[in-house]
Amino acid sequence: MTSHCALLLTPGPLTTAASTREAMLRDWGSREPDFIALTRRLRSQLLDVIGTPSGYAAVPLQGSGTYAIEATLSTLLGPRDRLLVMSNGVYGKRIATIAERLGHSLIVIDTDETAALDPQKLDAELAADSQISHVAMAHGETSSGRINPIEPIVEVVASHGRALLIDAMSTFGAIPIDVENSPIAAVIASSNKCLEGVPGIGFAIARISDLQRATGVSRSLSLDLHAQWRGFEGNGQWRFTPPVQVIAAAVEALNLHASEGGVSARHARYAKRAERLVRTMESMGLEALLPADARGPCIVAFRTPEDLSSKFEILIDHLRAVGIAIYPGKLTVADTFRIGCMGAFDGSAWERFFDCFGAALCKAGWRQEAALAGLGE
């Protein structure tokens, strides 16, 4: 199969707007004044998305979102610090894996993939262990589509006077995050999820006082968030050659984000898609993994019924043949597939997806009647 999929209903990279991709048609000298201005604009736009909190700075970084998480852990945690990771899925675990590889002192509160994070457990751990300096969590657990509410964790972390790191990879730009006057030391995300840019940069919105303290802490020259920030604050430049076209696309994607109406408008667009998605899937006999109050609007995981499981690859191939990409799940506790509601496409593309999905279910030979019931709704 070498069909090309233009409608990417995956956790990313996503379908982007034509103007976002067209922003990549220019060359840029990365140390030229116009590119320095573009970088300044990017940093201020990223901060705008989160409400321009005082005392925070946006530090973009070459690479994927995982690089930005590693740079944050590598820079903001010193040798005497200890990290507690609240995990209920693959991306929570990844934070722990990065910290472990970096040699950080680490504790993980591992929760079932289908359960919520437990602030009471966190409270008990923080009360018992004064060495824990930082707590980390994934805001959107991309593997299950769960949103882990930040507020209860913020409250506990604040009450113990520790710092909080938030992996907001699949929520930044679509779900509000309030960092002002919080114990949040960094919110980390990337250009190519809810912001609908192309992949190639990650970033941290980091508390300036934490950045200032972190001179020479990172053992990585490349993934040093402090030095990266100093570079931007100094001469406005990236320390190492930046992906200039990706950055131009990010600025255009952020222009579109602002003109759409910011976080609340983006949330509304995705939430509307997610509601329609769950309803349509249910009409075809497919069930969302998580209850409505635990799911986010960005990615929805569905249980793969036993009699569909063996046919799932065929289903995916049929969708691929009509230019639509979806991903299987990434959970260990349940057989699931995931549909991403993020991306720059319109309502008619979404409706077309439902038609194609129903037809693909039929072609895969799964419960013909149930599948057809979802069509032409």
Tell me the window of 61-69, 116-124, 144-152, 173-181 that interacts with its own copies (CB under 8 A).
61-69
Token reading at 335:
């057989």
325 makes contact with its own copies (CB under 8 A): yes
10 makes contact with its own copies (CB under 8 A): yes
Task: Report the interhelical angle of 65-76 vs 90-101 (nearest 10°).
Answer: 50
Q: H helices of the chain, where?
A: 18-22, 33-49, 65-76, 90-101, 119-128, 151-159, 208-213, 225-234, 244-260, 262-283, 306-309, 312-321, 347-363, 368-373
Task: Report the interhelical angle of 312-321 vs 347-363 (nearest 10°).
Answer: 130
Within residues 203-242, the interface with its own copies by CB under 8 A covers: 218-223, 240-242
346 makes contact with its own copies (CB under 8 A): no
Can you name the residues that pair with 86 across neighbouring β-strands? 109, 137
Select 32 or 129, whichever has its Cβ closest to its own copies: 32
Q: Which of 58, 84, 98, 253 binds its own copies (CB under 8 A)?
A: 98
The footprint of its own copies on this chain (CB under 8 A) covers a number of residues equal to 63
CB of 301 to its own copies, least distance (A): 16
Select 56 or 229, whichever has its Cβ closest to its own copies: 229
Beta-sheet strands, E only, within 95-210: 105-110, 132-138, 140-141, 146-147, 163-167, 184-190, 201-207
Query: Whole-angstrom Cα distance, residue 153 to residue 159?
Result: 10
Within residues 291-320, the interface with its own copies by CB under 8 A covers: 320
Tell me the window of 16-24, 145-153, 277-285, 364-372 that interacts with its own copies (CB under 8 A).
16-24
22 makes contact with its own copies (CB under 8 A): yes
Three-state secondary structure call for residue 259: helix
CB of 110 to its own copies, least distance (A): 18
Within residues 31-60, the interface with its own copies by CB under 8 A covers: 31-34, 37
CB of 164 to its own copies, least distance (A): 21
Can you name the residues that pair with 295 across neighbouring β-strands? 146
Query: Whole-angstrom Cα distance, residue 344 to residue 6?
Result: 11
Query: Whole-angstrom Cα distance, residue 361 to residue 4?
Result: 20
Q: Which of 106, 244, 256, 288 binds its own copies (CB under 8 A)?
A: 244
Query: Whole-angstrom Cα distance, residue 35 to residue 30?
Result: 6
Q: Which chain residues interact with its own copies by CB under 8 A?
A: 1-6, 8, 10, 12-16, 21-22, 24-34, 37, 62-67, 70, 74, 94, 97-98, 101-103, 190, 192, 198-200, 218-223, 240-246, 249, 320, 325, 327
